[in-house]
Structure 1
Amino acid sequence: MNSQALTLTKYHVAPAGAPAKIFLAFLATAGIFYINIMPALVSGLIDDLGFSNQQAGYISSANLYGASLGALAAVALVRRIHWKQWSFVLLLGILVLDFASIYLTQPVMLAALRFLHGLVGGLLVGIGFAVISRTGDADRAFGYLLFIQWGFGGLGLMYLPGLVPDYGVAVLFYALMLFTAVTLLMLPFLPDFAIAQTRPASTGEFRPGKALLLTLTAIFLFQAANMGLFAYVIGLGRNKGLTLEYISPALALASWIALAGSALVIALGTKHGRTRPLLIGILITALATWLLHYSGYHWVYGGFNILIGITWAFALPYLFGMCSELDPSGKLAALGGFCSKMGLASGPLVAGILLGENNYTAVINAAAVGLLLCAAAAIWPARGLDSASRKPD
């Protein structure tokens, strides 16, 4: 492919501008947009195809474990490839695999196909994360990423579950294909981004290697805890006596109000450091998660899902931004993407095992504990990066 084929140099957006961050947010979302409508997908597989809770959870996990491996491959590739050419091919692959998913109705075959979809999508997301790290303002760029994901995820959760009874689970895959097609139209207008070479040095007790390990652990725990509960949140509402007519708008509203979390990251950046906002966000998420034990009350289910959405969209960009700060070339951001996908895949898998026959108490407790462990892992690297950023060069 001609190296200029996907670079319209006369018309591309400014590298440091908001449009570039928005286009990159679409690119880093297209491969895993199914995550943002995961409750609709899980519920659709159960209601339309007759899958069990465990089968639907395993298919979701297969998709996400594939994405984890794809993101891991991106770590080795991001500095060696022409990212726009690869992104174009990967987007086309995602379109084909989502279309093929419509015609598979056996759990094993669908799980295998979604695993392959995950490989392709995870590689694309890893590339997107790496390029975002090269913008020089990664925390805000990841804020845009969460803004796009929660905004369009809210639309999906509002309308898609209600369409499944009439159009089947196929409508969910068509929605994914539409998002991918829009991203393909944006790709030519993105500029190339130079690879930065600098990274924080070891100073005093701060060691980037140790900071990276703890940051990756925090990302894994944060995503696993949140997604483990989120994948079954529609079932939780039904189990507590709520109707789908209430649940779908409530979750959509939660996704849309969650935009406030990512918008706050975009507004604040790191001018107040990362430690305080990060810990506040994670601990509030843990408390709101535990309070979902009382989801039989409409205001509890709706209100605390909203609060979880806000703090999820607020804390995650800071965690990804920490990876980018440790290596602005983007390689470690791609590694952060791998740990994120591993967490997103492991959460529904473990939750499906704990859930059994509707044991939502165990799922909620496990999610809350996972978030507390995440906060413990994030404290030291966040403080270290805040201290390093205050020291003169």
Structure 2
Amino acid sequence: MTTSSIAEPIGVQRNESHMRLWAVVAIAAVVPALLMMGPVVAGQLATQMGMNASQIGLLFMSENGAMSLATLPALYWLSRINLKQASLAFGTVFIAANLLSIWAATSDVLIGLRILSGVAGGSLTVICIATAGTFAKPDRAYGFWVLGQLSLGAIGLTLLPRLFEVYGLGAFFMTLSILMALCLPLMRFLPERIQGKASKSASKASLWSLKPICGLAAVLFFYISLNGTWTFMGTLAGEVGINPQVSGDILAIATLFGIGGALIAAFMGGRRSYKIPLIIGYLVMVFSVLALLAEPDVLRYSLAAFAFKFTWTFVLPFILASLARLDSNGQIMNLSNLVIGGGLAIGPMLAGQIIETLSGVETFLYVAAALTITSLLLMLSLQKTKQEG
């Protein structure tokens, strides 16, 4: 069930399920705003607060790291506390940390407040990612999850430079506070406890049994490949002589393809088997990575970037939904939050090391393609057979 009571009339159940989806999507869109709007926020941190590149990098790493590490205490509390009350508490802390960030006088104070915001936001993410897995159509829920993040990120990248000109960096933190305050009334639609939709065999399986480990490894390899490739798309363009303004415009347009990929995944939701969308999405992603080899011209670079961004957001909901099918209490989806954060951190670091050591992007592209194929094979091992239904 996706509602809190099986005794309610079907109309009420459906309405509550829809409101629960709105709550998950809205909260999950607001929490990672720093990551989604990073380029413009980083520029404002430099110009307004005089932060250097290492300080800005530390701030981003601190908040995103805190979001990921919030997974660890959640292993204890996720199945023990009232999640409606917990989400209200975490939401309130998130709002307070962002309001205080407006008046942070030094980079050290601001970084401390971003860690606090990250812990609260990461805890909310744990609740939302586990809740999304309980829907009758988790692939659709995760599709709207990704769509919400991309859409808010695109709006922020467009509007924040104008707001910064008038109100400064405080406009970003105030906006986050207001958006989370608007989410607070929706939190009453979240469940008090996570009741997964795992099969009987999955519910008896340990969190550390083979299938969950394979699924989490698949997510890790996917994100290492994804973020390593995406981080150095601009570097690759420079190596092959594509003008930085042109490559920037191409990557901005690619975001629209990403929104399209998430939208299509959302409306394809409810499938009994994820094999076909997983195979199509992964293979197109591999081909888009390999298309960046051998000094692509502007046309091939553009097509590769568009295909990469589209398939990244198209296949991700089916990856998360595959994990959700194994989950009986939200703990697998909770750990996926930590794994995603690890992949986002490892990808650029691994890519940077390979590029610096071997003097070029192409070697990493081969590594990224291999990681993507490995992730696909691991994901396919999780899919139901005909005998399993």
Mind listing any 5+ residue stretches in structure 2 that lack a counterpart?
1-8
Match status 1:78 vs 2:68: no
Pairwise CA RMSD? 3.9
Cα 1:215–1:227 shift into 2, 3 Å: same
2:387 alignment partner in structure 1: 391
Task: For residue 369 of structure 1, report the CA deviation from its aligned partner.
Answer: 2.5
2:6 alignment partner in structure 1: none
Cα 1:173–1:47 shift into 2, 3 Å: same
Residue-by-residue CA offset, 1:100-154 (whole Å, 9 max, x unaligned): 3334465544433323322221111001111112223211111110111111111
1:3 alignment partner in structure 2: none
Cα 1:368–1:313 shift into 2, 3 Å: farther
Distance in 2 (CA, whole Å) between partners of 1:61 and 1:316 is 23
Match status 1:265 vs 2:261: no
Q: Counterparts of 1:207-222 in structure 2 under 5 Å?
A: 209-222=209-222
1:139 alignment partner in structure 2: 139
2:245 alignment partner in structure 1: 243
Instruction: State the aligned residue count.
Output: 374
Residue-by-residue CA offset, 1:146-189 (whole Å, 9 max, x unaligned): 11111111111223245545544333333333332232232234
Task: For residue 53 of structure 1, report the CA deviation from its aligned partner.
Answer: 4.0
Task: For residue 197 of structure 1, report the CA deviation from its aligned partner.
Answer: 6.9
Q: Conserved in 2, the CA contact under 8 Å of 1:200 and 1:326?
A: no
Distance in 1 (CA, whole Å) between partners of 2:226 and 2:322 is 19
Q: Counterparts of 1:110-125 in structure 2 under 5 Å?
A: 110-125=110-125
Match status 1:323 vs 2:319: no
Distance in 1 (CA, whole Å) between partners of 2:325 and 2:220 is 18
Distance in 2 (CA, whole Å) between partners of 1:300 and 1:135 is 39
Match status 1:173 vs 2:160: no
Q: Conserved in 2, the CA contact under 8 Å of 1:66 and 1:119?
A: yes
Distance in 1 (CA, whole Å) between partners of 2:292 and 2:37 is 20
Distance in 2 (CA, whole Å) between partners of 1:174 and 1:238 is 36
Residue-by-residue CA offset, 1:343-366 (whole Å, 9 max, x unaligned): 22344555677788xx9954x854
1:45 alignment partner in structure 2: 45
Task: For residue 86 of structure 1, report the CA deviation from its aligned partner.
Answer: 0.7
Cα 1:226–1:163 shift into 2, 3 Å: farther
Amino acid at match of 2:87: S
Distance in 2 (CA, whole Å) between partners of 1:292 and 1:111 is 37
Cα 1:360–1:15 shift into 2, 3 Å: farther
Q: Conserved in 2, the CA contact under 8 Å of 1:290 and 1:368?
A: yes
Moved more, 330-339 or 161-170: 161-170
Moved more, 45-54 or 27-36: 45-54
1:99 alignment partner in structure 2: 99
Amino acid at match of 1:377: S
Q: Counterparts of 1:1-393 in structure 2 under 5 Å?
A: 14=14, 17-104=17-104, 106-161=106-161, 163-164=163-164, 167-190=167-190, 195-196=195-196, 198-199=198-199, 201=201, 209-228=209-228, 230=230, 241-243=243-245, 247=248, 251=251, 253-269=253-269, 271=271, 273-289=273-289, 303-348=303-348, 361-362=360-361, 366=364, 369-370=367-368, 372-387=370-385, 390-392=386-388
Q: Conserved in 1, the CA contact under 8 Å of 2:83 and 2:191?
A: no
Distance in 2 (CA, whole Å) between partners of 1:341 and 1:26 is 20
Task: For residue 330 of structure 1, report the CA deviation from its aligned partner.
Answer: 1.8
Distance in 2 (CA, whole Å) between partners of 1:305 and 1:84 is 40
Residue-by-residue CA offset, 1:55-83 (whole Å, 9 max, x unaligned): 43332222111111112322322211111
TM, length-normalised to structure 1: 0.78
Distance in 2 (CA, whole Å) between partners of 1:312 and 1:183 is 27
Distance in 1 (CA, whole Å) between partners of 2:91 and 2:163 is 26
Moved more, 168-177 or 300-309: 300-309
TM, length-normalised to structure 2: 0.79
Amino acid at match of 2:312: W
Distance in 2 (CA, whole Å) between partners of 1:178 and 1:367 is 41
Task: For residue 382 of structure 1, report the CA deviation from its aligned partner.
Answer: 2.3
Mind listing any 5+ residue stretches in structure 1 that lack a counterpart?
1-8
Cα 1:127–1:286 shift into 2, 3 Å: same
Cα 1:213–1:105 shift into 2, 3 Å: farther
Distance in 2 (CA, whole Å) between partners of 1:383 and 1:320 is 14
SS in 2 for 1:326: coil
Cα 1:143–1:62 shift into 2, 3 Å: same
Q: Conserved in 1, the CA contact under 8 Å of 2:221 and 2:374?
A: no
Distance in 1 (CA, whole Å) between partners of 2:220 and 2:56 is 22
